Chains A and B, each alone.
Chain A
């Protein structure tokens, strides 16, 4: 039994906004204070401290083939960013693409206890799980890319939605995945022909289906299967001027079905295609405000080093041509593709400055904090350990104004941001970093401190400088045990892998065997990730 007493608690899921509450923990869960034997309990006196549930990241590229390719080809990223082994921790290296142990430690030291890997190609899901096993401290899951999957596109072409539904259910179970991920639907397949899609009704070469059909079918499947999370969408035209229009069209194409749009910043660009980028934040914020079926995360740009990595093959090639930086591409048979390109975001670069502005404008213009979440699309827009800087930008308009002075003049002149004086409260920060993300992910035991929650708790010192406050928590508890003290790991902890296993009709396996023989270079039987790959796991139930 453990008690965290006298703390100023921010637990938005339970409507607690800074009131002093005691939190009681037993066997890794929060329990009711009524039946507690306080005499025998270990007590943490949190008087004057801020208590929140552990942070929950809804979108971050932390493990798997693409991330590892990024690590492998960026030794220059690691050399000056190392961590020595200690009695309780492993060593490692890396800044924007840290090694697995460093990723786990870095998140935990920032008060985060659950992180979702944002994109795994099903064919290499086994790799993702091997790396997740070496990512300590965190509960974690993996989103499975499906927006360019041949089997699904064939089902859509042949009008076999039911078959696609059973396939998706099978695929999630086979890959031990958590959610449906859609990346540039149809565009990645077209990239295998050196092309892309630009409109929702463009055709996918060789399949005769459209991005619109792929998105609406997968959104329908998501609802039918009752998956805990929403279809997680990275739309078409990411990173291109004028994509605000196609992003709004994508939101409208869902016709009220629920969906999550990730790193919206990269998809909120005004202006004309091929011309100068302008902020489309106002347009997108309006669309999000008007569509209660939509949640978003931002992908806030952090000035400095980043490594772009997405399944969006044509985008990564464009970035390579644009920047001249080195380029990795990896097309995956019958499923998806991907690429990696290092990048630097500079205050003095007018495009980067506009990207930075758009993220903040979206944060401040979207009304409902339960539908907008803090991410940097790590490491695409910046590294995850810069979240405290973003929190400070959201909570402190003077700091924002000061930062605004430092960015490129042209971007500053047009900035809507100068007029936005909203400041996030601690309660709202708790929503956009844990309560809201946990809710959107369908994780009922996370993001709150009510009875029965996983005892993942972060205790912060209350500081005026919010960046300092959120950089170095006083204590972090994972599964009820103290794992971080004063921002340093004191105990290594193996978290769970969270996945879904929706039921499917085993009758589709015959079709799948044929599909594998026609489409893959590995056999059907060697494809699924066996349960032995997950040393500690939890199946999150479907509705």
Chain B
């Protein structure tokens, strides 16, 4: 069987033109897909797996019971992950956090959390990816490397994509990469500006100063000559429709949200000359959805705490790394994420110490250390759901093959019901 227009939930590109061949309830081939997506689809597990409690296989009601007990016994539970699950499950996760008075945080806090804070300071001139495909004649990639991290981004949206005002694709665009070292992306660019690590803020400020016709009394900023910056700025002012895509090279280096506020201020100011936009290169397939869902249910996109009965927002306090690092979180529910593999040592160590529940299709490193493991179906492969692309365009994830596993949404619903009866 051939299934068309499958949405690949792997990264924030959410390419929705994948063709999957299915035989005997297994995906045997995928077309129109990048290598990450291919490996995601072809290695997707479809066999039945039972929950485990303390390493022993149990039936589902027992697993749900154990999870609910851990959460209700906790004084300060943490719910974390969310970026590789569907928005339907994210909605339930926030509901559970509300019932528990828990903290809830997504992987945003260790990738584009500073972007959100930058936007809260400065605003955000942006657009959907189709506007870039059809209009953009100047494309800047700053601190990101889509050639390796978002492999079809160039072809579908930003560089070689052929659009209405860009009928010749790559030839109709000027491509600029700003990064601290040459990358696969910079090799595809017309111009590469190599900045000194940690100097993005200075470079952005210099561009803003030049835009205001200030004279700079230095010859270079952050390793880039003022002449080069002036040249880039003229291209920015003179283009028809420009965009800066930015990644963790800007969000997670010194200055963090200040870098982003500066970048967004520059982009806003360029609109006095031409149309200019900015967009965060979101990594995980539905990390944008996690921001959206948390925002519409609580008012805040990440780092939310319900301990007082209402949502409070404080990055640095209620963010998962900090809740764990201070040894404040005393139980954790991890949904579709592997923090032990990625968090700083202190935070990961706390996760090993406290009772932890994992909802994930895979037995990842965190699951290996967890008390309760609840193996779920895979959204976009064996479960239908919704994911938000990096430009916040929501797409329907398909159920391409059947799975005996329940979805994250179902399991969270069971836990909520059980928690409510435990508390009552």
In the complex, whether B402 has a CB less than 8 A from a CB of chain A is no
Are A523 and B300 in contact, with the CB atoms below 8 A? Answer: no
Partner of B309, one of A71, A85, A328: A85
In the docked arrangement, what's the CA distance between A93 and B297, Å? 9
Contact present for B299 and A98 (CB under 8 Å): yes
Given A124-B394, A194-B271, A93:B128 Cβ within 8 A: no
Q: Chain B contacts of A504 at CB under 8 A?
A: none
Among A101, A127, A333, which residue has its beta carbon within 8 angstroms of that of B297?
A101
Which residues of chain A from 488 to 543 have a CB within 8 Å of any chain B CB? Answer: 518-523, 525-526, 530
Number of interface residues of B (CB under 8 A): 61
Is the CB of B413 closer than 8 A to any CB of chain A?
no
* Cβ contact of B298, chosen from A99, A130, A194, cutoff 8 A: A99
Question: Least Cβ distance of A312 to chain B in Å?
Answer: 15
Within 8 A of B (CB), among A336-354: 337, 340-341
CA distance A168 to B382 in the complex (A): 34
B295 and A68 contacting across the interface, CB-CB below 8 Å:
yes
Contact A71 B296 (CB under 8 A): yes
A83 → B minimal CB distance (Å): 6
By the criterion of a CB under 8 Å from any partner CB, how many residues of chain A are at the interface?
61
If A328-B123, A522-B16 touch, whether A192 touches B275 (CB-CB below 8 Å) is: yes
Within 8 A of B (CB), among A97-128: 97-101, 123-124, 126-127
What's the least CB distance linking A437 to chain B, in Å? 25
Known: A85-B309, A526-B5. A72 touches B119 (CB 8 A): yes
Please encode chain A, from 59 to 81, with 1 for each CB lying within 8 Å of some chain B CB and 0 for all others: 00001010011011111011100
CB distance from A194 to the nearest CB of B (A): 5
Question: Cβ of A332 and Cβ of B308 under 8 Å apart?
Answer: no
Complex Cα distance A523/B6, Å?
Answer: 10
Tell me if B98 is interfacial: C-beta within 8 Å of chain A: yes
A-side contacts of B401, CB under 8 Å: none
B131 near A331 (CB under 8 angstroms)?
yes
- Contact of B301 with A by CB under 8 A: yes
A162 near B: Cβ within 8 Å?
no
* B337 on the A face (CB < 8 A): no
Q: Are B300 and A82 in contact, with the CB atoms below 8 A?
A: no
Interface of A is mostly: mixed
In the complex, the answer to whether B5 meets A523 with C-beta atoms within 8 Å is yes
With A and B bound together, what is the CA distance between A69 and B126 in angstroms? 11
In the complex, the answer to whether A130 meets B131 with C-beta atoms within 8 Å is: no
B311 to A523, Cβ gap below 8 A? no
User: How distant is the Cα of A206 from the Cα of B386 in the complex, in angstroms?
Assistant: 34
Inter-chain CA distance A63–B240, complex, in Å, is: 32
Q: Does B246 contact A (CB under 8 A)?
A: no
Contact A521 B130 (CB under 8 A): yes
- Listed residue (B17, B95, B125) with the most chain A CB atoms within 10 angstroms of its CB: B125
What residues of chain A lie closer than 8 Å to B134, measured between beta carbons?
Answer: 333-334, 519
B66 nearest CB across to chain A (Å): 25
| Nearest CB in chain B to that of A133: its residue | B91
Cβ-defined partner of B131 (8 Å) among A83, A85, A192, A326 = A192
B299 touches A71 (CB 8 A): yes
User: For residue A100, which residues in chain B have a CB less than 8 angstroms away from its CB?
Assistant: 296-297
What does the 1/0 interface line of B305-338 toward A look like (CB < 8 Å)? 0101111110000000000000000000000000
Given contacts A93-B300, A101-B297, A521-B129, contact A320 B268 (CB under 8 A): yes
B310 touches A329 (CB 8 A): no
The answer, yes or no, to whether A327 is at the interface (CB within 8 Å) is yes
Provide the bound-state CA to CA distance between A522 and B388, in Å. Answer: 12
- Asked if A127 contacts B292 (CB within 8 A), the reply is yes
A77 contacts which chain B residues (CB < 8 A)?
299
| CB of A131 closer than 8 Å to a CB of B | yes
Q: Does A35 contact B (CB under 8 A)?
A: no
B157's nearest neighbour on chain A, judged by CB, is A521
| Distance between Cα atoms of A115 and B61 in the complex (Å) | 40
* Shortest beta-carbon distance from B233 to chain A in Å: 17
User: How many angstroms between the C-alpha atoms of A519 and B162 in the bound complex?
Assistant: 10
Which residues of the other chain, A, contact B156 by a CB distance below 8 angstroms?
521
Q: How far is the CB of A197 from chain B (nearest CB, A)?
A: 16
Instruction: Tell me, yes or no, whether B84 is within 8 Å of chain A by CB.
Output: no
Given A99-B298, A100-B297, A73:B120 Cβ within 8 A: yes
What are the residues of chain B within 8 A of A526 when measuring CB–CB? 5, 7, 16, 395-396
Interface pair A333/B296, CB less than 8 Å apart: no
Contact with A along B140-162 (1 / 0, CB 8 A): 00000000000000001100000
Q: Which of B5, B98, B292 contacts A68 (CB 8 A)?
A: B292
Q: Are B16 and A194 closer than 8 Å at their CB atoms?
A: no
Given the known interface contacts A82-B310, A127-B392, the answer about A326 and B121 at a Cβ–Cβ threshold of 8 Å is: yes
Contact of B365 with A by CB under 8 A: no
Contacts of A101 in B (CB 8 A): 297
Q: Whole-angstrom distance from the CB of A247 to the nearest CB of chain B?
A: 27
List A contacts of B371 (CB < 8 A). none
Q: Is there a chain A Cβ closer than 8 Å to B291's Cβ? A: yes
Residue pair A85, B98 in contact (C-beta under 8 Å) = yes
Distance to closest chain B CB from A92 (angstroms):
6
- Once bound together, how far apart are the Cα atoms of A131 and B309, in whole Å? 22
**Contact partner of A91 among B116, B306, B313, CB < 8 A?**
B306
CA distance A337 to B275 in the complex (A): 13
**B72 CB → nearest A CB, Å:** 15
In Å, the complex CA distance between A68 and B296 comes to: 6
Determine the chain B residues whose CB is within 8 A of the CB of A331 once the complex forms: 126-128, 131, 277
Given A73-B120, A333-B129, A519-B130, also A92-B388 (CB < 8 A): no
Write the nearest CB–CB distance from A21 to chain B, whole angstroms: 40
The smallest beta-carbon distance between A61 and chain B, in angstroms, is: 13
> A329 touches which one: B130, B157, B277 (CB < 8 A)?
B277
Q: Which of A71, A91, A332, A340 is the one whose CB lies under 8 Å from B295?
A: A71
Q: List 20 A-B contacts (CB under 8 A).
A: A72-B120, A90-B95, A91-B298, A97-B299, A124-B394, A130-B386, A130-B394, A134-B296, A327-B268, A329-B127, A332-B131, A519-B130, A519-B134, A519-B164, A521-B156, A523-B5, A523-B17, A525-B4, A526-B395, A526-B396
Interface residues of A (CB under 8 A from B): 63, 65, 68-69, 71-75, 77-79, 82-85, 90-94, 97-101, 123-124, 126-127, 130-131, 134, 191-194, 206, 317, 320, 326-334, 337, 340-341, 518-523, 525-526, 530
6 extra interchain contacts, Cβ-Cβ under 8 A, other than A194-B274, A330-B126? A63-B296, A90-B98, A93-B299, A134-B91, A340-B123, A518-B164
